[in-house]
Chains A and B, each alone.
Chain A
């Protein structure tokens, strides 16, 4: 479907497609096999000005040129994900890490941190999850205790995307354990701060080009000025961040699905069985037709919510959750069907679709499981219904 994107958004699309072709496709299987972070590809993206597309001009970015930044990020992430979901998330996770500063940071914090993120000199990561605090984010145990002009952090964060690669971490920690979710606060921690170290690098099922690590804080002392917003606002900052970043996961899912659909359609046009191309069989045709329709519907939802965000909508958590749920479920289904269409070849690592299927799975899990997303959608629906009843 032609969305008549602006020239500027098309620039992003073209550039990401060129990067995918020249830099990602030749190495994606290798990155997957070796569990290797695509540092050199991120550098190419930085040199092409892609790291600042969601950051305002006054902080070194170019978000205004694209009418906001959400569509820009969506278009870029989708295009990169067609080639490799792992490289794409390594890029997009920077936006997730920067989002707390962008949304709730002080002017000083924005001036200090955003320009280097916009230029790609620094990478960012967002650290919320812990071993016992996943969907139930209120159970975060990492503590931050105020001590004069500092906070002292203790605890361990788990499964942090871009961990070990990023220089700037936005960390959610407990400042008042008695208040649960309302006792959480958000902080900026720089790489190299004494007491801050990395734990193990995870060996994952998919998106293996991305780095997923533990962050360990042991009496890690940071300036009090690194507190984002106010004490007790951490949960709110985290939720606002995730509402805004979920279309990114959805865009990743759409890209992975589109990549798998393209492979399946191409294979079906070349593979001959029973003396004819297999795309001449209705059984394959109907599968491809459904896959294409689902991908297009998912894209429509993602673009829809990204445009809402760029239009400064006040509330979009329901739509953001819908886009994430739908697109990630589509990605799982479409990649599974792509493997099916390629048959035995699809199951082999020589062909890219088995990787796409492995990459797709995480989109149903991270930045809020799809079950949590459905709860978000339902609770918004119930509230809306109640409001209408009054």
Chain B
């Protein structure tokens, strides 16, 4: 079983602020972390590798420093890592990003599954996983909370959707996006940490992937982020004081009078 896990280096969102004038994230001084949802995808991949044998390869597209999250993944137990990095990739939207990731999966050949987190905590689009599947023309199962079965030919996974759970069977190869319900990610191991320092991580650029210039980066991106702003928080809260009978009546009256149904 050959599993590729697509991961992303993201700013620790607990710390992020927005530059309102430029409409961009202020990344200076903000620690970068492995996208937490991707940790669940990685754990799911390693769990099945441990059971069925095979390899787990992590890939990410990003600047050279994104290598740090690949090394972190190796310290947790990934077998191999590939960094997709090229100046030409800069400014990519989700379409160009998934297209580039899909080309890398094609280049690796014989990949059975691509796993990724349900979304990244910075962009929150949840598009990259499905879009990789579209680009590869593979089936996809998104929002996977539990993988019931996996073998060389097929997968049965539970897809947690609002108000229910869909059980989906698919042939391989397949792309799945993973929820945090799926597992508890393991900690790094000492052997993993040592391996993560020594492992050579190949860097693939646009030419390695044989991608034309107009299919990568800003030029290959059909969408543009026009602006980013922090929404103004409108607070209509009221604070009342009094005994509980009075407060309960006030609350009931105001609920009856409002448009809340």
Chains A and B form a bound pair: yes
Q: Which of B187, B190, B197 contacts A53 (CB 8 A)?
A: B190
- A11–B187 CB distance below 8 A: no
**In the bound complex, how far is the Cα of B191 from the Cα of A47, in angstroms?**
10
Mask of B177-207 contacts with A, CB within 8 angstroms, 1/0: 0000000001111111110010000000000
> Contact size class for B?
10 to 19
Name the B residues within 8 Å of A53 (CB-CB).
190
- A18–B194 CB distance below 8 A: no
Give min CB distance, A378 to chain B, whole Å: 40
Say yes or no: is A236 at the interface (Cβ < 8 Å to chain B). Answer: no
**In the bound complex, how far is the Cα of B190 from the Cα of A44, in angstroms?**
12
Say yes or no: is A49 at the interface (Cβ < 8 Å to chain B). Answer: yes
- B190–A11 CB distance below 8 A: yes
**In the bound complex, how far is the Cα of B187 from the Cα of A15, in angstroms?**
8
Chain A, range 20-66, C-beta contacts under 8 Å to B:
22, 44, 47-50, 53, 62, 65
**In the bound complex, how far is the Cα of B198 from the Cα of A128, in angstroms?**
44
Name the B residues within 8 Å of A44 (CB-CB).
187
**In the bound complex, how far is the Cα of B190 from the Cα of A62, in angstroms?**
9
**In the bound complex, how far is the Cα of B189 from the Cα of A47, in angstroms?**
7
Name the A residues within 8 Å of B197 (CB-CB).
7
- A47–B190 CB distance below 8 A: no
- Nearest neighbor of A12 in chain B, beta-carbon distance: B190
- Nearest neighbor of A65 in chain B, beta-carbon distance: B194
- Nearest neighbor of B77 in chain A, beta-carbon distance: A47
**In the bound complex, how far is the Cα of B186 from the Cα of A19, in angstroms?**
11
Name the A residues within 8 Å of B190 (CB-CB).
8, 11-12, 15, 48-50, 53, 62, 65
B interface SS class: helix
- Nearest neighbor of B193 in chain A, beta-carbon distance: A11
Mask of A216-242 contacts with B, CB within 8 angstroms, 1/0: 000000000000000000000000000
Q: Which of A7, A8, A15 contacts B188 (CB 8 A)?
A: A15
Name the A residues within 8 Å of B188 (CB-CB).
15, 18, 48
Name the A residues within 8 Å of B187 (CB-CB).
15, 18-19, 22, 44, 47-48
Mask of B60-89 contacts with A, CB within 8 angstroms, 1/0: 000000000000000000000000000000
Give min CB distance, A95 to chain B, whole Å: 15
Name the A residues within 8 Å of B193 (CB-CB).
11, 14-15
**In the bound complex, how far is the Cα of B194 from the Cα of A47, in angstroms?**
15
**In the bound complex, how far is the Cα of B141 from the Cα of A363, in angstroms?**
55
Mask of B190-227 contacts with A, CB within 8 angstroms, 1/0: 11111001000000000000000000000000000000
Give min CB distance, A53 to chain B, whole Å: 7
Chain A, range 64-101, C-beta contacts under 8 Å to B:
65
- A49–B186 CB distance below 8 A: no
Give min CB distance, B136 to chain A, whole Å: 33
- A62–B191 CB distance below 8 A: yes
**In the bound complex, how far is the Cα of B189 from the Cα of A53, in angstroms?**
12
Name the A residues within 8 Å of B192 (CB-CB).
49
Name the A residues within 8 Å of B186 (CB-CB).
47
**In the bound complex, how far is the Cα of B79 from the Cα of A284, in angstroms?**
52
Mask of B148-192 contacts with A, CB within 8 angstroms, 1/0: 000000000000000000000000000000000000001111111
- Nearest neighbor of B191 in chain A, beta-carbon distance: A49
Give min CB distance, B113 to chain A, whole Å: 23
Give min CB distance, B226 to chain A, whole Å: 40
Give min CB distance, B193 to chain A, whole Å: 4
Interface centre among A7, A48, A50 (most CB of B within 10 A): A48
**In the bound complex, how far is the Cα of B75 from the Cα of A18, in angstroms?**
14
- Nearest neighbor of A44 in chain B, beta-carbon distance: B187
Give min CB distance, B14 to chain A, whole Å: 16
**In the bound complex, how far is the Cα of B189 from the Cα of A219, in angstroms?**
42
Interface centre among B187, B190, B192, B194 (most CB of A within 10 A): B190
**In the bound complex, how far is the Cα of B191 from the Cα of A8, in angstroms?**
10
Give min CB distance, A356 to chain B, whole Å: 25
Name the B residues within 8 Å of A50 (CB-CB).
190
**In the bound complex, how far is the Cα of B211 from the Cα of A376, in angstroms?**
74
**In the bound complex, how far is the Cα of B189 from the Cα of A15, in angstroms?**
8
Contacts A15-B188, A15-B189, A49-B192 supplied; 18 other A-B pairs, CB < 8 Å: A8-B190, A11-B190, A11-B193, A12-B190, A15-B187, A18-B187, A19-B187, A22-B187, A44-B187, A47-B189, A48-B187, A48-B188, A48-B189, A49-B189, A49-B190, A50-B190, A62-B190, A62-B191
Please give the residue numbers on chain A whose beta carbons come within 8 Å of chain B beta carbons, in ascending order: 7-8, 11-12, 14-15, 18-19, 22, 44, 47-50, 53, 62, 65
Please give the residue numbers on chain B whose beta carbons come within 8 Å of chain A beta carbons, in ascending order: 186-194, 197
5 tightest Cβ-Cβ pairs between the two chains A and B: A49-B190, A11-B193, A49-B189, A48-B189, A48-B187
What are 14 contact pairs spanning A and B, CB under 8 A?
A: A7-B197, A8-B194, A15-B187, A15-B188, A15-B193, A18-B187, A19-B187, A44-B187, A47-B189, A48-B188, A50-B190, A53-B190, A62-B190, A65-B190
